[in-house]
Amino acid sequence: MSIGMLGTKVGMTQIFNTDGFAIPVTLLKVGPCTITQIKQNSKQNTMNIQIGYEYINPNKLKKPNIGHFKNKKLPCFKYLKEYKSNEWHNIQVGHIINIQEFKIGSTINVSGISIGKGFSGYQKRHHFSRGPMSHGSKNHRQPGSIGAGTTPGRVFPGKKMAGRMGNQKVSIKNLKIINIDTKNNILIIKGSVPGKNGSVIYIYKK
């Protein structure tokens, strides 16, 4: 079946292969996750599978969330995520998905919230080239013309300008699994993953 799991980013390091080359890798602490709900999608022949990650004290949740877990006779979870799957016949509510579902050498897709950079300028945000830095120039890091003359008399939406940078959902596809530590639920993958150390990430494997 299609596997969707939640985890946290531990950090980055490097390992050496048999040829002595350094490979940049990211360590992810994945699962275990529990299936909290299976709901049929009326428009498509698929099921919406909801998974829970990281146990939490019920006193820290609101009453509707507590009732959701109580009706399913499940412990309370801090994070919930829902994804679609075509194969749901071999699973049921309460089934635990762990890191053993993955295999070394296979590829996964990882989604997370990128690091926020705050309010950034044109050069940093959109890689604009700067103006001359000589004494006579009065255009060093300004944006230049934004094209709003008498016609059309306004700035079109989506114009590349200064503004908030980062803090958006980013998905990285086809990251290769280098190694798996089943004892500590650690997944070692090649490449980088969006977000800070300790941030929640979503792992999906077809």
Whole-Å CA distances, 174 to 8, 12, 61:
18, 18, 35
Listed in order, the ranges of the chain carrying CATH 2.40.30.10 are 3-116+169-205
- Which CATH code is given to the segment(s) 3-116+169-205? 2.40.30.10
The whole-angstrom separation of Cα 171 and Cα 149 is 38
Structure tokens at 102: 């993955």
Q: What is the pLDDT of residue 204?
A: 87
The whole-angstrom separation of Cα 197 and Cα 113 is 11
The terminus-to-terminus CA distance of the chain in angstroms comes to 7
What 3-state class would DSSP assign to 195? coil
Torsion of CA 16, 17, 22, 24, to 10 degrees: -90
pLDDT by 10s per residue, the chain, length 206: 577 889 999 999 999 988 889 999 999 999 788 888 888 777 667 788 888 998 888 888 888 888 888 888 888 888 998 888 776 667 788 888 888 888 888 899 999 999 999 999 999 999 999 889 999 988 888 888 888 888 888 999 989 999 999 999 999 999 999 999 888 989 999 999 999 999 999 998 86
